[in-house]
Structure 1
Amino acid sequence: MPRSAVALQGEGAFVATRRPPRSVAVVALAAGRGKRMRSATPKVLHPVCGRPSLWHVLRAATRGARPSNVIVVVGEGRRQVEEAVRSWRVRPEPTFVDQGTPLGTGHAVAATEEATQGADDVLILSGDDPLIGGEHVRQLLTVHRRTKAAAAILTTVVDDPRGYGRVIRVGDELIEIVEESEATPAIRKIREISTLVYAFRREELIGALPLVGRDNVQHEYYLPDVLPILKDKGEMVAAVAVDLGGSLGFNTRGSMAAVSSVMRARILEGHMRGGVAVVDPQTTYVDVDVRIGPDTILYPLTFLEGATRVGAGCRLGPSARIVDTTVGEGAEVTFSVAVGSRIGPRASVGPFASLRPGTVLREGAKAGTFVELKAARIGRNSKVPHLSYVGDAVVGEGANIGAGTITVNYDGYDKHRTTIGDGAFIGSDTMLVAPVRVGKQANTAAGSVITRDVPAGALAVERSEQRIVRGYRERKRAARRKQQRGEAVQPEEKGGADRG
């Protein structure tokens, strides 16, 4: 049996033991101001495919490193960042370190010296690098430990390396990071650049940080300057190349859009591997927390946002926006918006329907063309086919709501509920003035304004008797001609009523 260490237990007894794994402290840099974003929101809290950038970074770090502790370096916007991170329930629970006056990435890491005590290694990530995944972190730590390097840095190949330091390497060993201002034309052709993702042996990191100077244009302490200090001491520094889709972090709205595009492609690729059909990935937008069942088809201009859950065999789109909504198996949503709703199995929504928060469509229910539902529960196989508003209402099973029906739920002060029983038939252009109940199998006549409860099986009719005004058009024309000649027109000449 292989032994990494042995322990003596009693006379002549040897028991194999394993060397304990190296502990890792995660440091997430989240103190950046993000001036070029031109936003009151801290840069690390800008959303990328439904979650803030820092959320993606912490997820990658905790999944990839299984850290003993997590430290988030904060600065300007501290309150917002801390509140957001706490709401994500990151485990282990993060410690927050205030950088104070921001003097560069090296200064930010130095501020965590006390917080990282007890860890063997320190994993450092930037809060604005959301494309880093757990698999990238694992790859970095694997090489760091295999090569016994004092430090390891994650690198990637980008489409446009201008403004970034170029990576010179031999195998896994980093030789040098050459800044663009010092690069020869040949080196500038290199597209492999360094990220701000590092793994350090903590002892070596803490020893090198005080040696970092500020002799640069910004007069700041730069974390990358630790690497040549370690190499000058004869330490190994590893470079680990990963594919980040040709992009990196973001500093501007434009670069954030590029990062979001890469993330969105990754998300869609994952769903397609799971059996989801995406007709046009370039025009389909799915957030990171969305779950979709197999054999569902996403048509162009479909947006699935927030905590949306979609069952198997659904048809979504074209032009559908579905937010924080559950969609049951076999349901269809086309040219419509659903927010905070539940759409049952084999239900149908659209085209041009709006499901507002609190709406529930049971199995086989329909919300058709130009229908708006708000906090409404539509029963199994019930239909609201077109041109209707149903709000604060409960509709039973097998009911039919005619075109132009409105539940008049607001009196200017309070919202009131409408209840429609199983099998009820609501005639077109019915106004249901809440609070009101329509019983099972009851009917309302078209054009009625219903203000009182309708008993089960009854017909409610509320409209005035039709009146016929004979000769109306000719009298109106004659009165108009007299007006044009300046003659007086008597009231009886303007028209008259005649029943019949």
Structure 2
Amino acid sequence: MWAPRRDHSLATTTTTRPRSLAAVILAAGKGKRLKSARPKVLHPVCGRPALWHVVQTALAARPDKVVIVVAHGAEDVRAEVASWKITPKPVFVEQTRQLGTGHAVLAAKSAVGRVDDVLVANGDFDPVLPEDIRALLRRHRRVDAVATIASTELRDPGTYQRIVRDGGRVIDVVEGTDAPTEVRRINEVGTNWMAFRRGPLFAALPKVRRNNRQHEYYLNDAVSILLRSGARVEALLCDTGGTLGLNSRGGLAAVIAVVRGRINGKHLDSGVTLLDPGATYIDVEVRIGRDSTIYPNALLEGSTVIGRDCAIGPSVRIADSSIGDRSTVQFAVILGSTVGKDVAVGPFVRMRPGVEMADGSKAGAFVDLKAARVGRGSKVPHLSYVGDADLGEDVNVGAGTVTINYDGYAKHRTVIEDGARIGSDTMLVAPVRVGRDAVTGAGSVITKDVPPGSLAVERTEQRNVPGYRERKDAEHRRGTRRR
């Protein structure tokens, strides 16, 4: 049996006073195996950086303060966090020398202050659930532990730290790279989430040594020191979906798969139909109304909101957009746009940022929209480009219509008023206005405003040339004989 040495100099007494909490997030890692210029903690996971997920989980524990330890890419990390609306506002500490997790936590000592408990997590994201972290804190405080580790079980623990128990009691925590053979057989490993009593933690950290293969100060060694002192250390099994950390591109993909599965599960539980959850990609902040159906190969990104009774997909990408109730979207890309209720989009539609489609409107096959407003009941059924344009209500745009919005120097707007009918293959050279109930003839190039109720036709008169085909065929035969 694995039997660590004991040192009782760090044993603590209990207290019944309510405890304050600081969350310390370690965001200083380089992530060399990711082979990326981007800081490891800023790699996106379902629409948000890994660090955002960690901070959100930590906030579920209701800390009195949040401390983020940075080093590699510190300015990028600071800028990203500054864009989040979170309370309490994080305090940053720079780890000037990257000497391991224990050294990083020690660097945060002054910023932590005189709180009672410290919740420590790595910013590269072990997908522990917020409810598990709340349970971890409850357990930690209820039994008055000095340290409590969020653990999980892995089929292949590899080099992860092992939780060594004796009759259920935690007796040691050992890094997998330095563990003896009998310890490496253990499947229970520690995640990057731990809760500590502040005093014993910062008393133990200076005693940590770098006598390991990485020559780093391991936070886990502080746990071993606490155990040898006779302090009570707990470990609470948590669900991580069978994966830990973003140490490689494969690890990143595994974490994304776990988080994506959880997101999809929440939508299924809330009354959304996902025809193929394995081929559905929904970011963490997306909202979907009840009784909507999501078809395969749908990517719903950013702050997208889908209404009720919608049919989305197959093969769509919708980012930072809203889709109203009972609307359908097929084979489309919609970016930064607003689609109203009872709208039909697709197949093969692209909406660039700034598009607004009112209730009951339509964008049909092979339509490109950019910074355009399409009024209630108006239709752009097929094969058209409508950019920098304002369409009123009940407008119909014929196939092949193009709003010519750029003169080589600036963009100009096209205005089409209520009830207008735009003939097929009309070129609308902006700035131009088509009045209420006006009509443009097919094939026209419209360069002047069209008065309300008028017909605008701009094309040369058709001329028929009798015998043309017979003459051309004869010329071709004569040319062939000469060769």
Of 55, 75, 78, the residue aligned with 2:52 is: 55
Q: 1:165 aligns with which of 161, 167, 181?
A: 161
Contact 1:327 1:344 in 2 (8 A): yes
* 1:57-76 matched pairs, under 5 angstroms: 57-63=54-60, 65-76=61-72
CA distance in 2, matches of 1:74, 1:255: 21
What TM-score results when the alignment is normalised by the length of structure 2?
0.94
Whole-angstrom distance in 1 between the partners of 2:470 and 2:410:
48
Tell me, in whole angstroms, the C-alpha distance in 1 between the residues paired with 2:346 and 2:166.
59
Question: What pairs up with 1:447-462 in 2 under 5 angstroms?
Answer: 447-462=443-458
The gaps in structure 1 that reach 5 residues or longer are 1-18, 488-500
- Structure 1 partner of 2:418: 422
The counterpart of 1:117, out of the listed 105, 113, 119, is 113
- For 1:26, give the aligned amino acid: A
Tell me if structure 1 keeps the 8 A contact 2:358–2:376. yes
Q: Note the alpha carbon deviations across 1:437-487, whole angstroms, 9 max, x for none.
A: 111111111111111111111111111110111122222233334444559
Q: Say if 2:476 is the partner of 1:477.
A: no
| SS state at 2:365 partner | strand
Residue 308 of structure 2 aligns with an amino acid whose one-letter code is A
Match of 1:101 in 2: 97
Match of 2:355 in 1: 359
Per-residue CA deviation, residues 186-211 of structure 1 (Å, 9 max, x unaligned), is 65443221112111100000110111
Report the identity percentage: 55
Structure 1: which amino acid aligns with 2:362? Answer: K
Partner of 2:368: 372
CA separation of 1:362 and 1:20: change in aligned 2, threshold 3 A: farther
Q: Deviations over 1:6-28 (max 9, x none)?
A: xxxxxxxxxxxxx7631101100
Match of 2:288 among 292, 296, 318: 292
CA contact (8 A) 1:54 1:130 kept: no
- Residue 142 of structure 2 is matched in structure 1 by 146
2:20 matches 1:23:
yes
Is 1:42 aligned with 2:74?
no
For 2:265, the equivalent position in structure 1 comes to 269
Give the secondary-structure state (helix, strand or coil) at the position aligned to 1:257: helix
8 Å CA contact retained: 1:53, 1:130: no
- What is the identity, as a one-letter code, of the residue corresponding to 2:210? R
Aligned to 2:275: 279
Out of 368-377 and 163-172, give the one that drifted further. 163-172
Counterpart pick for 2:462 among 448, 463, 466:
466
Residue pair 2:374, 2:391 contacting (<8 A) in 1 also: yes
Supply the AA of the counterpart residue of 2:121.
L
* Structure-to-structure mapping, 1:268-347, within 5 angstroms: 268-347=264-343
Which residue of the other structure, out of 208, 211, 230, is the alignment partner of 1:212? Answer: 208
Deviations 1:26-75 (A, max 9, x none): 10000001111111100000000000000000111112x21111110000
Change (3 A) 1:200 1:149: same
- Equivalent in the alignment of 2:434: 438
Alpha-carbon distance in 1 for matches of 2:19, 2:110:
18
How far is 1:263 from its partner? Answer: 0.1
Gaps of 5+ in 2: 1-15
Distance 2:219 2:396 in 1: 67
| Counterpart selection for 1:248 from 244, 250, 257 | 244
Per-residue deviation, 1:93:
1.0
Q: CA deviation at 1:162?
A: 1.6
Structure 1 vs Structure 2 CA RMSD: 1.7
Structure exhibiting the larger radius of gyration computed from Cα positions: 1
Report the counterpart of residue 177 of structure 1 in structure 2. 173
Structure 1 CA distance, aligned partners of 2:161 and 2:226? 18
Q: Is the 8 A contact 1:172 1:238 kept in 2?
A: no
Shift of 1:183: 5.3
Q: CA deviation at 1:134?
A: 1.9
**What whole-Å deviation, never above 9, does each CA across 1:88-108 have from its counterpart, x for those lacking one?**
132111111111110000110
Distance verdict in 2 for CA 1:171–1:432, change over 3 Å: farther
Aligned partner of 2:227 in structure 1 is 231
**Offset at 1:357?**
0.4
Deviation readout 1:206-234 (Å, 9 max, x if unpaired): 11011100111121110000111111111
The alignment's TM-score, normalised by the length of structure 1, stands at: 0.91
What residue number does 2:132 align with? 136
